[in-house]
């Protein structure tokens, strides 16, 4: 997921995106544990997508607080 796509979302959309990514990451971890995951690089990319979304979420939340 690109940062430009994430920055276009509002706070609620970003929170939903983080939850969705965390569910996907959990599924990938379970696949890895049961030896069903072929491409383990997807774990790394999903983890980084979560971090990227959380970073932008915090930026937007702090911008809302400072605007009030």
pLDDT tens for 8-59 read 999 999 999 999 999 999 999 999 999 999 999 999 999 999 999 999 999 9
* CA–CA separation, 52 and 37 (whole Å): 23
Q: Crossing angle for the helix pair 11-33 and 41-67, nearest 10 degrees?
A: 160
pLDDT interval class at 2 (50, 70, 90): confident
Note whether residue 41 is domain-resident. yes
Contact 65, 12 (CB under 8 A): no
Contact 29, 43 (CB under 8 A): yes
Note whether residue 1 is domain-resident. no
Query: 43 lies in which domain range?
Result: 10-67
Note whether residue 53 is domain-resident. yes
- The CATH number that applies at residue 42 is 1.10.287
* CA–CA separation, 13 and 48 (whole Å): 18
Whether the per-residue pLDDT at 68 is higher than 90: the answer is no
Note whether residue 24 is domain-resident. yes
């Amino acid at each position: 997921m690109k940062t430009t796509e994430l920055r276009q979302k509002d706070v609620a959309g970003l929170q939903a995106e983080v939850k969705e990514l965390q569910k996907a990451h959990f599924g990938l971890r379970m696949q890895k544990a049961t030896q069903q995951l072929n491409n383990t690089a997807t774990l790394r990319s999903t983890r980084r997508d979560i971090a990227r979304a959380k970073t932008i979420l915090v930026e937007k939340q702090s911008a809302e607080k400072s605007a009030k």
